[in-house]
Structure formats: C-alpha cells, structure tokens
Structure 1
Amino acid sequence: MTGNITTQQTVYATVTHDVPAWLVIDRIRNGLAFGGFRFSDGVDLDQVSLLASAMSWKLAAHGLPVGGAKAGICCRPDHPRIGAMLKDLASAWRQPLLEHVILGKDMGASDALLDQLYAELGRPQLHLVQTNSPTAPARIRDLSGYVRDMTGLGAVIAAEAAIGSLKGKRVLIQGAGIVGAGVAIRAKQRGAIVGGMSDVDRAVVSANGLPVAELALAARDQERPFCLALLEAVGGTWMPRDQMLAEKADVLFLAAGSHVVTKTLAETIRSEVVIEASNFGLTPDANAALFARNILVVPDIISSSSSAAMTTHQLATGNGWQSGPLWDHIENNIRTAVTNGLLQASRSRVPLRDAYRAMYGTVLSH
C-alpha cells in the first residue's frame, strides 16, 4: 500500500428493477475506501455523496486510515426483489468492489444483506484486506475490536468530552434503532438517566429514567416498536414523537435519520448540548439556529466516528490492533477532537463543526 490519497469523488450509478442505486468513492487512501450501504426509500445521489464525504471527515481525526465511500439504494431492505437487486449491483459495481471499496452496514442494512451482496460478487467482504494480510477475517463483524453498540459508545464518549461525566445527567434520545438503543445502553453504563426516547411513531419520557438496557434487548428480539415496549413496561408519559425535543435535559442525542431536525424543530430544543449520533441529523438551518441560541452541537463527523474508526484501523493494518489498545486510541482521538475543537470554536466564535474542519482539513488535503 502506498499511503497516497485520491480525492476526487467517483460515482457509480445504476438502476435495478426501476430502483436507482449509487456507489460513491470520496477518496482512496492506502488503496482502500470504506463506507456503509444505506437501504432507504428516501436516499438520493446528493445524500450518498454527502455521506461519502462525511465518512472521510469522520476518519480525519483518526488519521484517515483509509478513504471514505458510501452506497445507497432507493428502497427499503424488505423490497420483494431485493435479492435480484443485489445481484445486479454486485455486477454493476464489480470493478470498485474488487479493486478498492469495502462496504459495511448503514441505515436499513443487515449482515444478511451484505453477506448476499458479497456472495453475488464471489468474494469475502474483506477480500481486499486478505490480499495483503491472509490471516485477516472474512467479515467486518469478525474483526478484533468489533463490539456491540460501538457507534453509541463513540457518541457517549463525545458527550463526556463536551460536558464531563454523564453520571446523574438527564439525557434524551431521538431514535430507537441500533444507534439510539446503543446510545441508551452506553449512556446508562456511564451513569446517565435516560429521561426520554422516541421512535418513528411516538416518544415516552419518565422523570425517574427508563430501563433501557433490558427493554432494548427485548424489543430487538421481538421486533417490536421500541418505545411501545417502554411505555407498556414503565408507564411513562406518552407524547408525539417530536414533542420530546422540547423536554428539558442536559444532553439530547440525535440518532434518527438524516436531516430530520429542521430549523422549526431546533427552535423547540431545550437541552444544553446536542450530540449528532446519526449522520447529519440536523439540517444546516437547524445547526445555525442552535448556534444562535448558544446550544453546543457536537457534529456527526466527531460523535458518529467510532465505528468507522474501529473498522478502518483494522482494514489498514490487516486486523493488526488488539481490541483494548484500539478503543483507547479511538477514545483519545474523539476526546482530543472535541476538547481542541471547543477551544478553537471559542477563539474563532464559530460552530464546533467549522472548528473541526479547520483543525483536520490538512489531513484530507495531503
């Protein structure tokens, strides 16, 4: 591997069974580009391109082990023709998947869907890593350091870097999928009180906190609506989904979809700090509205970087890190990005996102 960086985005666009799909390579580093594969009927090329760029920015604070990429298909993962679609995409994207790109999970994706894509390709998911490191595992989920709820763990680390210990702090979580449930579990482990959560249909809040860890596992196993399970179990207060944002809290974690918090919703937020655990959970106008109100936003390119960092460090080294040292390294990088970014943001009177880009832009320009 050369260590050189290729920076111009490359787009592979195709249509399968009347459904558009895109693979975008933002840049190639050390011969590789990595990103998730999103299955959503709301995805489009602009979003996939933005996500690919965001992946590179996430990795900048972690030394850019590999370049950023992203894939998306404009349908739900339960589409009746999804198997045939994956076969078409494996053929259409064969060159980049054989030469540079490794795809992991994103919204709507599952291990089974990714396994099927690579089965159609006729290669293991990590065949590009195995070329240089034959003892590396075949799948991302078998890498050393792959732990449950690791995106949530990174978001919680970012929150602690911003405000100190979470012990006794009241947190709200928008989103009850894999990331939202992971944030809840990791935040409770650090002593936080999970005062409210919302899913796609409703929100539930409780002054005494929600028993999230147990119910998260139960909801996953039973494939039941997460907040309905909470409501039935603890008898908390029900409210419309977006109304929860107006509840008072120390920290609000955004762990739902992209650009779901608009300026109008942002103006109702009463939390002191907002953590973007999802990819750009705030619209640009919402970001500006929160900055004008002196509400700190820790952006996704910091707080949603831990999973990508873990994976790409291992891709770049052929699974060469041990889990403990790797996670110590990731935590240190996130805390450094937040701490130094806050100092720069205060001096320059800009949002933390802008300060981060100024600090780490040189990583992406070389």
Structure 2
Amino acid sequence: MTIVEHPLERPEESAFTPVTPFVEGAPRRREPTMRIEWNDPVTGARGYLVIDTLVAGLATGGTRMRKGCTLGEVEDLAAGMSNKTAVFDLPVGGAKGGIDFDPKDPRSTGVLTRFCEAMRPFLDHHWVTAEDLGVPQHLLDDVFDALGLQQSYHAAIARSADPERTAARIRAGLAVRARGGSLGDVIGGYGVAQACLAAVDRRGRGHAGTTVAVQGVGTMGGGAAWYLHDAGLRIVAVADAVGTLFDPAGLDIPALLDTRDVYGEIDRSRVPRHVQQLPREVVLGLPVDVLVPAAVSYAITSRNCADVHAGLVVEAANSATTPDAELDLTARGITVIPDFIANAGAVAWAWWLLLGYVGERADDSFERLRKEMHTKVDELLAGWDPSCGPLRRRAVATIHEVRVSRDIHIP
C-alpha cells in the first residue's frame, strides 16, 4: 500500500473549495487531502482510496469495482462527493474508493475483503463508505461484518453515544420496504427521478408527454426509471451491458426490472417480442426529451456528444459527462443537471438517517428528499439559459468556498 500525497493530519482539513471535473492531463484547482494506492498480493488487482476533503475528521463516499478503474477516476469521484456533501450541507467531507477488477470474477469478493482490510485504519476512524458500481451494499456489509466492523457506516456509527443502537437503526432504515423496493436500494434513484421531474415541471411540460431514455438499470438507473414511470413519464428506452431495449409507445419498466439478475442485466428471454433490441450505445442518441446516463463515468464524451438529441440530460452516474462534452451540449442548448446535485439523494438520505432526521417511515424520507431536490433544481435553473455556460459552473458557484469544521452529533 502506498500513501501518495498529503498526510491525514493536513492543517486545512476542514477547508472546502469546489472543484471542476477531472480530465486526463488537465490541472486541478486544488489537491485532495490524500491518495492511497493498493496492490492485491493475491490477484495483482490495484485499488485506490482518495480522501478529497475532511470535515470534523470524516469523509464519505462509495467503493466501486470495475475493470479499468483508475486513480484519476477515483480522484474525480471523491471531489464530486465533496460537492455533494456541501450542496446538501452535510457535516462530512468527500472520499471515494475504487478497485480495478472485474466484479463478475469469482475472486472479486476476496479482492474487496483484502482491500477493506488494508483500508481498515481509515474505515475505523475517517472513511464512511457504501455501495457503488460493481459493489452492492449487501456484499459490502458482509465484508464489514467479517472484519468485525458490523456495517459500512462504521466510522460514523462509532462516534455515536450508543453504537449498537445506532447500527440497528441504520440497518432498519436500509431495509425499509418502499414502493419500488427496499428504501436503501431505491432512494438514490428516487432522488434522480425528482431532479428530472423538477426540471420537466419548470419547463411546463406534462408528464405524460415527456419521453425518457435511461442508460443503466442498476440501483441508480433502475430506481430512476421506476419512479419516472410511476410519475407518468414515458420511458421509451433502457440500456444495460447487453444492449438497449426500445419501444416508442413506452416500456413496462416494473416488469422489465423484475427480470434483472445480480449484475443488473435484464433477462432477454422475458422481454416482450414487440420491444426492439438494439446495440447498447444507441440509447445515448435517441430523440427523447430526457436522457438519464446512469451506467458509467464519462459515458458522454467529445467523441459521442454530437449523437445526443435530448433537451435535458440528468446525470445519475457520477461524472457521466466530460467537461468538453458538457460545453458542446450546452452550446447546442441542451441542459445538463450535474451529478453532484441529481444523484446526491443517496448520500444525503444516508446521513439524514445517521443523524436521526429520518427513520423507518419511507414516506418521510421520500418527502424530505423530494422537497430538497425540487428546491435545489428550481434555484439552479431560475434565470439560467445555455448562453450563461454550463449549469455545473453555476452549481459550483453556489457552494460555499469554505465550510467550518464542526462536531457531529449522532444519536
């Protein structure tokens, strides 16, 4: 394991400066608090932890696993987490974990376990992690339990007055059943759906007349598709790793999602015959009102952004659009709702649960997130048009340049 830069005790650990997205070879506005590189002694897999900012000694951000994951990617995602926690005024900084390994490989659980073992000093005291691409929450919790850490929110739970009671409350909250699935699984996608609805409502469009394409049907994309369908929008396309499913009359989203396997792929043998099966990249170029990239980072780049014809792009995946692509889309009059607002519902809700602001009533969590997301998107879009430049710039400018470190009270 190699600590690349910046010790954890960095004096300005509570300082926060908004950042711009990562581009290979481009300079950053500031350096993260710390980068760590790890090499798995068994498989040779490489893993990374980037702590971007610390607030009261804590940072939060998920752990992902995918073949080809890079340090630059994890660094960018950690910076995005700092923006998310600041936008929702959460008393915690931003971090991210990433492992360059195929999550479908049968050795992946062992790789994840050894990565968490190596990161244990940070998981014990400073880093609160959760599910991300390729790492479902139940698997992460199993690994934490095997390491004697109970749950992936351990570093925050350990600060509470009664850790056992807090851990029980977190588990209960994550397991609450809601419309669309367990609350912990669907709350992030619900937040993305609310970001879409806020933007659609502001444009004065009716829900029934609005068409949507969703790239990715995992936890985030599947949840977004379910709640947009539930709100009456017409989901004409969804894409997974196998390909794109398209029906201009609208897909039966709940039925399709019910056929997903553990890797978030839809069972093609159960897809109705009238639904067209197209290449997976087609989903980005369909003539729809709303495009929700919810699969991988950097899905929309300078090479394919000309294919995008949606009037509204809502980033459900972290860093779904590269900066140059976002400039191009904006110049063409396409609105891009940035990830650190649109998909921040999951981290906001997790910390509301930790802090006792919400409990085991799903409707309370949904209503709080709906109000927060609509307010933030409305404020972001008020008085803005594409001639002002990318919406992300305005979003970053609204974040306080410095956040004062404060104690965290977890009941």
Length-normalised TM-score, structure 2: 0.80
Specify the alignment match of 2:14 in structure 1: 5
* Distance verdict in 2 for CA 1:81–1:175, change over 3 Å: closer
Aligned-pair identity in percent equals: 29
Higher mean alpha-carbon deviation, 333-342 vs 5-14, is at 5-14
Specify the alignment match of 2:154 in structure 1: 127
Counterpart pick for 2:353 among 307, 314, 320: 314
Write the distance in 2 (CA, Å) between the matches of 1:118 and 1:51: 22
Specify the alignment match of 2:260 in structure 1: 219
> Which AA in structure 2 matches 1:132?
S
Counterpart pick for 2:268 among 196, 219, 228: 228
Instruction: List alignment gaps of at least 5 residues for structure 1.
Output: none
Write the distance in 2 (CA, Å) between the matches of 1:40 and 1:183: 22
Higher mean alpha-carbon deviation, 127-136 vs 284-293, is at 127-136
- Residues 1:240 and 2:279 aligned together: yes
Higher mean alpha-carbon deviation, 93-102 vs 25-34, is at 25-34
CA contact (8 A) 1:149 1:178 kept: yes
> Which AA in structure 2 matches 1:204?
L
Aligned with 1:69: secondary structure? strand
Write the distance in 2 (CA, Å) between the matches of 1:242 and 1:83: 29
Specify the alignment match of 2:19 in structure 1: none
Specify the alignment match of 1:303 in structure 2: 342
CA contact (8 A) 1:259 1:280 kept: yes
Give, in angstroms, the shift of residue 141 of structure 1: 4.9
Write the distance in 2 (CA, Å) between the matches of 1:236 and 1:6: 51
What is the correspondence of 1:350-365 to structure 2 with a 5 Å cutoff? 350-362=389-401, 364=403
Write the distance in 2 (CA, Å) between the matches of 1:298 and 1:186: 18
Task: For residues 21-51 of structure 1, give each alpha carbon's deviation from its aligned partner in whole angstroms, at most 9, with x where no partner exists.
Answer: 1111122224422111101112111111111
Aligned with 1:109: secondary structure? coil
Higher mean alpha-carbon deviation, 116-125 vs 178-187, is at 116-125
Task: For residues 102-148 of structure 1, give each alpha carbon's deviation from its aligned partner in whole angstroms, at most 9, with x where no partner exists.
Answer: 21000000234313431343222233314414221258553367444
> Which AA in structure 1 matches 2:241?
V
Counterpart pick for 1:142 among 149, 158, 172: 172
Write the distance in 2 (CA, Å) between the matches of 1:13 and 1:360: 30
* Distance verdict in 2 for CA 1:139–1:258, change over 3 Å: farther
| Structure (1 or 2) with the greater helix fraction | 1
Aligned with 1:263: secondary structure? coil
Write the distance in 2 (CA, Å) between the matches of 1:189 and 1:229: 24
**Backbone CA RMSD of aligned residues:** 2.5
Specify the alignment match of 2:3 in structure 1: none
Counterpart pick for 1:14 among 38, 47, 64: 38
Flag as ranges the 4+ runs of structure 1 deviating above 6 A.
none
Counterpart pick for 1:192 among 233, 251, 258: 233
> Which AA in structure 2 matches 1:12?
I
Task: For residues 181-236 of structure 1, give each alpha carbon's deviation from its aligned partner in whole angstroms, at most 9, with x where no partner exists.
Answer: 21211111100111111222321211211111022012247x68427356x31422
* Distance verdict in 2 for CA 1:348–1:9, change over 3 Å: farther
Specify the alignment match of 1:45 in structure 2: 71
- Residues 1:294 and 2:320 aligned together: no
Give, in angstroms, the shift of residue 365 of structure 1: 7.4
- Residues 1:168 and 2:209 aligned together: yes
Task: For residues 141-195 of structure 1, give each alpha carbon's deviation from its aligned partner in whole angstroms, at most 9, with x where no partner exists.
Answer: 5336744422221111111111215333111111222222212111111001111
Specify the alignment match of 1:56 in structure 2: 82
Write the distance in 1 (CA, Å) between the matches of 2:113 and 2:230: 41
* Distance verdict in 2 for CA 1:117–1:207, change over 3 Å: same
